[in-house]
Amino acid sequence: MNIDYHMHTTLSDGHNSHEEMVLTAIEKGFDEIGFSDHFCIKQPCKWAVDASSIGQLEEKIIEMREKYGEQINILFGIEVDYFSDRQEEIRKSLQQFNFDYIIGSVHFLDDWNYDTDKSRYAEFSSDFLYEWYFRELQNAAKSGLFDIMAHPDLIKKFKIWPETSKKQLFEETAGIFANSGVAFELNTSGKDRPCGEFFPGNELLEAFFKAGVPVTMGSDSHMKEQIGRHFGEARTILKKIGYTNITRYRNRKQETVTI
Ligand SMILES: [Zn+2]
Ligand SMILES: [Zn+2]
């Protein structure tokens, strides 16, 4: 099945409307897509909606389903920033909506939005950043807030490569994901970032497979042309690692379908 669970619209930081995204996905032959605009509890945040605007995201999904629901499955997802000290507020902000799935992201280390702000990298060693980032990611997985963990090794975005082997850290992370019941996404946008490879890379992907962590696919599209980018290659990699199924969601319940 052709499924893309990670896309943004003009309601957060995307360049196209819901309708433009839906029409392109239909044209590209997708069976199912999910919108995942950004929600950030810490405001102001120019690329994310605040709690009071989540209702608008849901209204758009309902409108799109009425119009195009017979041609394509349209799911209500959201990409949520994790902050260990604001978990209850995040939970409360999300509880009144009928999400199909909730994607959890670590875009911040403390208050540093490291994936848009390059100014602080010189302060830390790569190994320190990996430890810091993966502890946050592990806590996010354990929080019970999320169904899917976004771009699991986003810390490498600006070619931040570890100085020493991260095999143990990756295995530990995979074990925590498995125990927490979360899936991870194979996020194909990394290929177009400075790091030049998918999130996660092969070593972490293998650790997830060995631990039995379910996988979803997401292009992290911020414009319609990016829907399903590099998905052919992504499927090949998943199969090579050993995955035969990907995971889909309805009302926050997992189902599997063949890749
Ligand atoms: Zn993200
Ligand atoms: Zn995203």
Residue 1, token pair as written in the block = 């099945």
Q: pLDDT tens-digit profile of 145-157?
A: 999 999 999 999 9
Q: pLDDT tens-digit profile of 48-101?
A: 999 999 999 999 999 999 999 999 999 999 999 999 999 999 999 999 999 999
| Listed residues: CB within 5 A of ion ligand 2 | 79, 220
Structure letter (DSSP) for residue 147: S
pLDDT of 181: 98
Three-state SS at 127: helix
Report the percent of the chain where pLDDT is more than 70: 100
CB burial string 64-75: b at 16+ within 10 A, e below: bbeebeeebbbb
CA 99–ligand 1 middle distance (angstroms): 18
CB burial string 130-160: b at 16+ within 10 A, e below: bbbbbbbbbebbebebbbbbbbbbbbbbeeb
What is the spatial distance between Cα 60 and Cα 48, in angstroms, rounded to a whole number? 16
What is the spatial distance between Cα 185 and Cα 101, in angstroms, rounded to a whole number? 12
Q: pLDDT tens-digit profile of 195-219?
A: 999 999 999 999 999 999 999 999 9
CA 151–ligand 1 middle distance (angstroms): 7
In sign, the C-alpha dihedral spanning 140, 178, 173, 197 is negative
For residues 111 and 155, the answer to whether their CB atoms sit within 8 Å is: no
CA 103–ligand 2 middle distance (angstroms): 9
Helices vs. strands in the chain: H and E counts, helices first: 7, 10
Q: Which ligand is nearest to the CA of 37?
A: 2
Architecture of the domain whose range is 3-258: Alpha-Beta Barrel (3.20)
Q: pLDDT tens-digit profile of 91-142?
A: 999 999 999 999 999 999 999 999 999 999 999 999 999 999 999 999 999 9
- Taking the domains of the chain in order of start, what are their residue ranges? 3-258
